[in-house]
Structure 1
Amino acid sequence: MTRYVGMAEASAAAMLDEKHFVVAEDECNTLLVYALGQPKPVGKPIDLAKFLGTGDKASDIEGGARVGDVIYWISSHSLPKSGKPREWRQRFFATKVDAKAHPPTVRPHGSAYAGLLEDMIAAPELRDLNLAEAAKLLPEQEGGLNIEGLAAGKSDELLIGFRGPLRAGRAPVVPFRNPAAVVDGGRAKFDTPILLDLGGRGIRSIDRIESHYLIVASPVGDGGTFAIYRWTGKAADAPVLASELPSKGIAPEALLATPTSRKVTLLSDDGSTQPDAVCGTGTKAQQQVRALRVDLP
């Protein structure tokens, strides 16, 4: 197990090349770049606060997906613990990979979008998800809205993975048809959701690996078990259990994999085990995230 320093609540990640990856934390509007196996970040932190228009308010980034040289990111769009809607937790945005930099990094791309939830609520294709009511509930509540997964779809589309709400015990995956147009100023368009049987769990992470997907499934609330599923990406095909994960001591939020490897790296949300720290401070720099390597059949 490797420990990466500089954050405690890793929530989304994407590979930049075979050795480097970029990570978001849900409590800070900053991305950090790491080299695999090296505990400290490399290069400069990528401060997104001005780009996102959230000031010092955390946008709760929860999912990332690379399409070509663009990495898209999505926030949870959920209510905070106070139960009061916070518009700064509603962001969809993109960064572009700068592979020529040493080490590689990402830079803001296009414009950050704050209207995704509004578009989803208005979309006739998503009517059965009842997102308007889900958005009024806390994310840990039954039926509450919580977006935590984002993956490359077919062509230039994305798939949005929901930790909640579940529908008939199944986790929704929403095809997002036009992400590039949205970060260029357009409105979002969607296709009919796909409901996945993950043993009563929601989606904590979903990642496209060559022609299939790996899904980190987790409970909607704080109790329960985690697992990794394989899925073909076809609506008619059920996900297949690939690995049960430890029931205690790890809360996987992001998955890293390479197309040629059966080993994946899970980044754990370890915020509950460490003291709170203000973003950008020395104390924050001492926080740690555990990375667990898992062999898949």
Structure 2
Amino acid sequence: MRALAALLLIAAGAAAAQTRYEGLCDASAAVALDARHFVVADDEHNKLSIYRRGEPRAVGELRLDKFLKTDKEADLEGSAQVGDRIYWIASHARNSAGKLREDRHRFFATQVRGATVEPVGKPYTALLADLLAAPALAQLKLADAARRAAEADGGFNIEGLAAAPDGSLLIGLRNPVPRGLAIVIPLLNPAELVDGKGPARFGSAIRLDLGGRGVRSIERVGNGYLIAAGPPADDGTFALLRWSGKPGDAPVALKVELGTLRPEALFAWPDGQLTLLSDDGGVLVGNKACKDADKAMRSFRALDFKP
């Protein structure tokens, strides 16, 4: 209880600790590389950008088009670190018109090399097919969801990825949210997939009450998880919740004043500090949405939680 109370106090005072980073708007997933650097994905472009903590401009980037073998954006949405390997997952969703987008069917890994990363193994493209074929997940009726647009009622959209203590991963769905409960699916063999040894194996789905919201980001912190939750579609409220990681335990909402932030990525630093990134692609810059503005005008906001 003391640890949770301390976290609540941290969150309550975190609004004054915002930083703005330049060069991209749609921050969607991130991992700390060391005590000073973090790598962030942009769901509008197939690249990873590296920033130095607290400094606005990127200090490096990794272009992924050739590695991912995609013609359009892969819609990168989640990341999780296991040892010196970072796993990344795309949305595996259809576009806003409900059109199939195979470029978004990507699960891959990068290796941490000091304050940078490099691709390792090869992208896995059959994760959605494996999800739909898994007997343990049949009750979720994901095949129906996967035929709909990402933000449609009951559509399919992956946005969260977190490491579990045993090296497996948790996949968090933004959509669907059946009966108002978010879905988290254990991925048991991530290392095998990037080594070209499919199919994917899954544990039983976990249902979480996030107040009718889906998972936007999930991060292992200490002995549990923090979840950034948001609406399955574009309109709705966001929240930050603490979850023990046990399927039968209910997440606990943290009293955080997020203001206009749209939480999309959450990660922990080696010193225990937490950073929450906002997807600011729709924020107006002059008379244009940030993602449509000149590159020099693009930026995203980060909220730091100081222990």
TM-score by structure 1 length?
Answer: 0.91
1:80-112 CA distance string (max 9 Å, x none): 12211010011100000002xxxx100001000
Task: Identify the structure with the greater helix proportion.
Answer: 2
8 A contact 1:209–1:258 mirrored in 2 = no
Kindly, what percent of the aligned residue pairs are identical? 51
Count of aligned pairs between the two proteins: 286
Shift of 1:31: 0.3
8 A contact 1:255–1:266 mirrored in 2 = yes
Structure 2 distance, partners of 1:157, 1:255, is 19
1:117-164 CA distance string (max 9 Å, x none): 000000011111111110111122221101000000131100000111
Structure 1 distance, partners of 2:207, 2:187, is 15
2:48 match: secondary structure: strand
Q: Which residue of 2 aligns with 1:241?
A: 253
Letter in structure 1 aligned against 2:66: K
Q: Which residue of 2 aligns with 1:27?
A: 44
1:144 match: secondary structure: coil
Shift of 1:257: 2.1
Q: 2:180 aligns with which of 154, 160, 169?
A: 169
- 1:94 matched to 2:109? The reply is yes
2:177 match: secondary structure: coil
Structure 2 distance, partners of 1:40, 1:201, is 33
- 1:284 matched to 2:295? The reply is yes
Instruction: Note closer, same or farther for the CA distance 1:285–1:184 as it changes in structure 2 (3 Å cut).
Output: farther
- 1:75 matched to 2:90? The reply is yes
**Structure 2 unaligned runs (5+)?**
1-17
Q: Which residue of 2 aligns with 1:215?
A: 227
Structure 1 distance, partners of 2:153, 2:38, is 34
Letter in structure 1 aligned against 2:80: A
TM-score by structure 2 length?
Answer: 0.89
Q: Which residue of 2 aligns with 1:265?
A: 275
- 1:53 matched to 2:69? The reply is yes
Instruction: Note closer, same or farther for the CA distance 1:254–1:277 as it changes in structure 2 (3 Å cut).
Output: closer
1:133 match: secondary structure: helix
CA RMSD of aligned residues (A): 1.9
Instruction: Note closer, same or farther for the CA distance 1:63–1:172 as it changes in structure 2 (3 Å cut).
Output: same
Structure 2 distance, partners of 1:21, 1:259, is 11
- 1:18 matched to 2:35? The reply is yes
Structure 1 distance, partners of 2:257, 2:215, is 14
Letter in structure 2 aligned against 1:210: G
